[in-house]
């Protein structure tokens, strides 16, 4: 069948993928932040800091943080004075995010359940669109990129950070063995959910390499599409402009 898509290494219908991704994030929501620290040895914090340094949010700018989950990236941008809308398809992730925002005394963020493939925002609403470790989970990625382009104002910036496989041979081998053996085990012991973490590892392996994703960003209408790979492409910051 041609309309099947990958859920990790399995082929499923698009509806089934969206449903299962929802189940993964509902299952991990409460332990998501602790697991990120454990799995990356705290590195995700540095990657997110670097990402926000690239975005350079300015006071008063309207930024949509798509697939914003528990708010890590949104909080960093809000602290710089941007007006951030955090959107995610999963209400459980957003609920954890709202609790974290309250604990941190961060007010002024807007939270909205939205599917990145079909946004409920008017054309030309935002100055910036960010999506961090989110787009590989989206069923129809080209549709999400087109929506990102639509909701940005002219001159608006698109920024995405995502995992892929690394092309540094030695590092790729070490990472591959860590990811396929250790991460699902941490998931099993700490989050009592081996399957969700196996999906996360498989989805990283399947995400396009930086040059291929850069072409997808350009095909959605963005100009000056650029990719800044780190760790041989294991993590890449992508960007593009709407003119």
Question: Which helix (H) or strand (E) element contains residue 99?
Answer: helix 91-103
User: Interface with ligand SAM by CB under 6 A: which range of 5-13, 68-76, 102-110, 163-171?
Assistant: 68-76
Q: Is residue 89 a contact point for ligand SAM (CB under 6 A)?
A: yes
Least distance in angstroms from the C-beta of 214 to ligand SAM:
20
* Residue 115 DSSP code: B
Q: Is residue 128 a contact point for ligand SAM (CB under 6 A)?
A: no
Q: Using CB under 6 A, which of 85, 90, 164, 236 touches ligand SAM?
A: 90
Neighbours of 94 (CB within 10 A): 22
* Number of residues engaging ligand SAM in binding (CB under 6 A): 20
User: In the structure, how many helices (H) and strands (E) does the chain have?
Assistant: 10, 9
Q: Using CB under 6 A, which of 63, 64, 67, 84 touches ligand SAM?
A: 67
Q: Which of residues 129-148 bind ligand SAM (CB under 6 A)?
A: 132-134, 137-138
* Contact status, residue 125 vs residue 61, Cβ threshold 8 Å: no
List of residues 6+ apart from 73 with CB closer than 8 A = 48, 51, 52, 65, 130, 132
Q: Using CB under 6 A, which of 88, 127, 147, 202 touches ligand SAM?
A: 88
DSSP 75-97: HHHHTTT-EEEEEES-HHHHHHH
Which positions touch ligand SAM (CB under 6 A)?
21, 25, 67-70, 72-73, 88-90, 93, 115-117, 132-134, 137-138
């Amino acid at each position: 069948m041609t309309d099947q898509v990958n859920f990790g290494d399995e082929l499923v219908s698009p509806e089934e993928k969206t449903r299962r991704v929802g189940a993964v994030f509902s299952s991990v929501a409460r332990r998501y932040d602790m697991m990120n620290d454990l799995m990356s040895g705290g590195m995700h914090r540095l990657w997110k800091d670097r990402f926000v340094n690239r975005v350079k949010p300015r006071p008063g700018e309207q930024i949509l943080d798509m697939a914003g989950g528990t708010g890590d990236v949104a909080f960093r941008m809000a602290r710089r004075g941007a007006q951030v809308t955090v959107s995610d398809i999963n209400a459980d992730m957003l609920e954890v995010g709202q609790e974290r925002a309250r604990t941190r005394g961060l007010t002024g963020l807007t939270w909205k359940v939205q599917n990145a493939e079909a946004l409920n925002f008017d054309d030309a609403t935002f100055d910036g669109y960010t999506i961090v470790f989110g787009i590989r989970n989206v069923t129809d990625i080209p549709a999400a990129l087109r929506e990102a382009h639509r909701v940005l104002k002219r001159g608006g910036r698109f920024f995405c950070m995502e995992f892929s496989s690394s092309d540094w041979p030695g590092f790729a081998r070490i990472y591959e063995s860590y990811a396929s053996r250790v991460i699902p085990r941490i998931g099993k012991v700490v989050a009592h959910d081996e399957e969700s973490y196996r999906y996360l590892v498989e989805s990283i392996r399947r995400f396009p390499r930086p040059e291929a994703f850069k072409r997808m960003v350009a095909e959605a209408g963005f100009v000056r599409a650029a990719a800044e790979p780190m760790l041989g492409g294991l993590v890449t910051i992508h960007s593009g402009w709407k003119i």
